[in-house]
């Protein structure tokens, strides 16, 4: 069989984690599709997850495109559905070649192939833009696949692992397939359903966080696109596809201050009308204290910094390489620049109790981010921290490894108790926040009212938020007044369901 057509399909997994905020496209597939087309293959970019398609619709799409290859991507929580998707493709046509990639498969290829080799033909380890076309070219040529770096597959009663592929150094040279994206489905709810893109200005992370997958996936390396190339892409996405908001997929886009400031300058000089949502490190914000006004003028509207823990001992366990007091200073800088600040706290460690969680809530109030999320630690089986947590892992059902459903049981709490405490933490933090809504600038007030709508009506926290309003903790009068004053803003507006970040 000559391979000609490749279907890139996201698994139809949903967890409710970020589904309330917007519909997030798979930027990895944009790059993979570009590489495949350059190699002469016809590609279908099919985001079944974001379309909320079920199996009958997925079958129709596969049968209509008639792919020779079905490739999917899976982080840990979605890997069960990713494998199910490949099995489904084999049921439709047993001759379809199936490929699985992304972080979980990169590290857990042996477990996957031992259990599901009947439906997983090949695993791409690491970046796929070079590896996947080489694999397909090799299959078409009948080549020795053991000579292709970055693969894992089953042969002769065992797993074959080829050498690790070197990271792509020239990110500016990578081709993209933005024209294959089904743009109308991607929107950002918190900004009046503005059209949303996910973009990448750099790849990698040089930090050593013990709970994280990224420092392992990128082997503590970091590479970046040029400022000019990246800003030109944002201009193109705005002009050609109507993109209004872009979220940076980067772990640390600000790592190189000179390059990052050049990006900000170009955004200002060219008046690029795209607002930016981003994540970065606390110490980069502290470093950039003197240019935070430039962040804002360049269109940066929302910054997430990972505080993760309320005690120095836990920060040290996580190898965050920051001090507790630095987190407060960074969030203050973001707030003072009139940028939405967001952070998260990882809870559910073996020694956690209702009292330690309550202390974290108070610390979150003290830090005063606009948004805070209290997440259940997900013990990625390949993370450095996993051996310390393994005896407390209560389930190996990877679908629950979504940062919402507890999978690690603390010594002195049940999983149900932990889940209640996590919900209570969000409830208490946001009720505290909304009681002080008047302290924010007008545009932040309106943004937070959108957040309130999402929390109450569309998020996994909806039950806790509604409960808080019922149980004698009604929405403060000033918030009710603001709800009425903000033109056109109604809490309770129902939006079409949307999907989480692939």
**For residue 219, is pLDDT > 90?**
no
Q: Among 161, 189, 212, identify where a domain stops.
A: 161
Q: Is 6 helix (H, G, I), strand (E, B) or coil?
A: strand
176-190, 424-438, 475-489: least confident range: 475-489
Query: Is 282 in the same domain as 419?
Result: yes
User: How far apart are the C-alpha atoms of 311 and 69, rounded to whole Å?
Assistant: 49
Helix/strand/coil for 4: coil
Domain enclosing residue 74, as ranges: 5-161
What are the backbone dihedrals phi and psi of residue 360, each rounded to the nearest 5 degrees, phi first? -65, -40
Return the structure tokens found at 60.
Answer: 């129709």
Whether the pLDDT of residue 146 is over 90: the answer is: yes
From the centroid of its chain, how far is CA 34? 21
Return the top range by mean pLDDT from 170-174, 219-223, 327-331.
Answer: 170-174
- Matching residue, tokens 């309550």: 358
SS3 205: coil
Q: Is the pLDDT of residue 453 over 80?
A: no
In this structure, the answer to whether residues 379 and 411 fall within a common structural domain is yes
Residues 130 and 203 in one domain: no
* pLDDT higher than 70, residue 153: yes
What are 301's two structure tokens? Answer: 């509207």
Average pLDDT score, the chain: 86
**Residue 7 pairs with which residues in a beta bridge?**
44, 70
Same domain, 149 and 212: no
State the distance between the two ends of the chain, measured CA to CA, in whole angstroms. 31
% the chain with pLDDT above 70: 83
pLDDT confidence bin for 205, thresholds 50/70/90: confident
Residue 219 gets the label, from left (phi > 0), alpha (psi -120 to 50) or beta, of left
Lowest mean pLDDT among 108-112, 151-155, 314-318: 314-318
pLDDT tens digits for 244-297?
A: 999 999 989 999 999 999 999 999 999 999 999 999 999 999 999 999 999 999
Task: Answer with the one of 161, 187, 202 that is the final residue of a domain.
Answer: 161
Q: Do the domain assignments include residue 501? A: no
Whether residue 153 lies inside any domain: the answer is yes
Please give the residue that has the higher pLDDT: either 254 or 423: 254
Clarify whether residues 148 and 211 are in a common domain: no
97 within some domain = yes
Residue 200 and residue 107 share a domain: no
Q: Is the same domain home to 129 and 256?
A: no
Q: Is the pLDDT of residue 498 over 50?
A: no
Residues 234 and 123 in one domain: no
- Compute, in degrees rounded to 10, the torsion defined by CA atoms 174, 175, 180, 182: 40
Banded model confidence at residue 217, pLDDT cuts 50, 70, 90: low
pLDDT for res 386: 78
Query: Cα(439)–Cα(447) distance, rounded to whole angstroms?
Result: 13
Among 167, 271, 260, residue whose Cα is nearest residue 220: 167
Question: At residue 194, does pLDDT exceed 80?
Answer: yes
H, E, C per residue of 148-193: CCCEEEEECCEEEECCCCCCCCCHHHCCCCHHHCCHHHCEEHHHCC
- 388 versus 220: the higher-pLDDT residue is 388
Asked whether residue 121 carries a pLDDT value surpassing 70, the answer given is: yes
> Is 19's pLDDT higher than 70?
no
Does 210 have pLDDT greater than 60? no
In-domain check, residue 487:
no
Question: Are 249 and 335 found together in one domain?
Answer: yes
Q: How many Å apart are CA 378 and CA 386, to the nearest integer?
A: 9
Range scoring the smallest mean pLDDT among 16-25, 137-146, 166-175, 478-487: 478-487
Quick one: tokens of 155?
A: 């042969």
Which has the minimum average pLDDT: 196-205, 343-352, 381-390?
381-390
- Which structure tokens are listed for 115? 């259990």
Does 304 score more than 60 pLDDT? yes
For residue 325, what are the contacts with CB-CB under 8 A and spacing of at least 6?
none
The residue with greater pLDDT, 15 or 472, is 15
pLDDT digits (tens, 9 = 90+) for 28-81: 999 999 999 999 999 999 999 999 999 999 999 999 999 999 999 988 889 999
Bridge partners, 153 (sequence order): 160
pLDDT at position 471 over 80 = no
Residue 171 banded pLDDT, cuts 50, 70, 90: very high
Q: What share of the chain is helix, strand, coil (3-state, %, to 5)?
A: 45, 15, 40
pLDDT of the residue at 123 = 97
Q: Is residue 348 part of a domain?
A: yes
pLDDT value at 497 more than 70: no
pLDDT tens sequence across 104-115 = 999 999 999 999
Residue 320 pLDDT exceeds 50: no
**Which of 240, 246, 242 is CA-nearest to residue 201?**
246
Does the CA dihedral 59-197-190-79 come out positive or negative?
positive
For residue 430, give the CATH number of its domain. 3.20.20.70
Question: Which pLDDT score is estimated for 221?
Answer: 72
Domain boundary among 413, 434, 455: 434
Tokens of 430: 């946001």
What pLDDT does 418 receive? 94
What gap in Å lies between CA 260 and CA 52, rounded to an integer? 36
* Count of domains observed in the chain: 2
- Based on the fold, state whether residues 331 and 391 are members of the same structural domain: yes
Query: In degrees rounded to 5, what are phi and psi of residue 38?
Result: -65, -25
What is the residue-wise DSSP string for 400-457?
A: G-SSSS--B--TTS-HHHHHHHHHHHHHHHHHHHHTTGGGS-HHHHHHHHHHHHHHHH
Query: Is 491 a domain residue?
Result: no
Residue 183 falls inside a structural domain: yes
- The residue ranking higher by pLDDT, 306 or 173, is 173
Domain contains 70: yes
Q: Within this chain, do residues 323 and 261 fall inside the same structural domain, yes or no?
A: yes
Return the higher-pLDDT residue of 215 and 249.
249
Q: Are residues 186 and 109 in the same domain?
A: no
d(CA 37, CA 34): 5
CATH code of residue 128: 3.40.50.2300
Give per-residue pLDDT as tens, 481-491.
544 544 344 43
């Amino acid at each position: 069989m000559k391979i000609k057509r490749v279907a890139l399909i996201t698994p139809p997994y949903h967890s409710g984690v970020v589904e309330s905020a917007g519909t997030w496209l798979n930027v990895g597939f944009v790059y993979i599709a570009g590489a495949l087309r350059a190699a002469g293959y016809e590609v279908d970019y099919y985001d079944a997850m974001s379309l909320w398609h079920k199996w009958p619709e997925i079958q129709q799409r596969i049968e209509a495109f008639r792919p020779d290859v079905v490739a999917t991507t899976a982080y840990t929580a979605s890997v069960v559905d990713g494998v199910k998707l490949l099995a489904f493709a084999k049921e439709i046509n047993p001759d379809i070649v199936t490929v699985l990639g992304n972080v979980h498969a990169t590290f857990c290829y042996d477990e996957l192939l031992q259990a599901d080799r009947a439906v997983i033909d090949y695993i791409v380890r690491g970046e796929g833009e070079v590896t996947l076309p080489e694999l397909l070219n090799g299959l078409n040529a009948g080549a020795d696949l053991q000579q292709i770096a970055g693969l894992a597959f089953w042969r002769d009663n065992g797993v074959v692992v080829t050498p690790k592929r070197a990271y792509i150094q020239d990110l500016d040279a990578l081709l993209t397939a933005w024209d294959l994206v089904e743009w109308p489905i991607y929107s950002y709810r918190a900004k009046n359903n503005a059209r949303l893109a996910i973009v990448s200005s750099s790849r990698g992370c040089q930090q050593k966080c013990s709970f994280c997958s990224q420092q392992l996936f990128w082997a503590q390396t970091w590479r970046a696109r040029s400022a000019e190339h990246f800003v030109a892409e944002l201009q193109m996405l705005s002009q050609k596809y109507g993109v209004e908001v872009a979220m940076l997929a980067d772990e640390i886009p600000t790592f190189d201050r000179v390059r990052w400031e050049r990006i900000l300058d170009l955004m200002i000089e060219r008046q690029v009308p795209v607002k930016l949502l981003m994540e970065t490190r606390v110490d980069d914000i502290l470093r950039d204290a003197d240019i935070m006004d430039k962040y804002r003028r360049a269109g940066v509207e929302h910054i997430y910094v990972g505080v993760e823990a309320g005690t120095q001992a836990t920060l040290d366990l996580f190898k965050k390489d920051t001090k507790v007091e630095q987190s407060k200073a960074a969030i203050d800088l973001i707030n003072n620049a009139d940028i939405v600040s967001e952070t998260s706290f990882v809870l559910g460690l073996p020694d956690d109790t209702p009292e330690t969680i309550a202390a974290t809530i108070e610390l979150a109030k003290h830090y005063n981010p606009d948004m805070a999320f209290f997440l259940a630690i997900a013990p990625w089986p390949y993370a450095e921290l996993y051996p310390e947590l393994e005896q407390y892992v209560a389930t190996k059902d990877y679908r629950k490894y979504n940062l919402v459903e507890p999978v690690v049981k603390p010594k002195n709490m049940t999983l149900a108790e932990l889940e209640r405490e996590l919900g209570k933490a969000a409830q208490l933090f946001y009720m505290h926040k909304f009681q002080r809504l008047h302290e924010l600038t007008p545009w932040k007030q309106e943004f937070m009212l959108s957040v309130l709508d999402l929390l109450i009506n569309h998020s996994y926290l909806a039950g806790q938020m509604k409960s808080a309003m019922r149980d004698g903790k009604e929405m403060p009068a000033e918030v009710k007044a603001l709800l009425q004053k903000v033109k056109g803003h109604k809490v309770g507006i129902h939006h079409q369901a949307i999907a989480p970040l692939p």
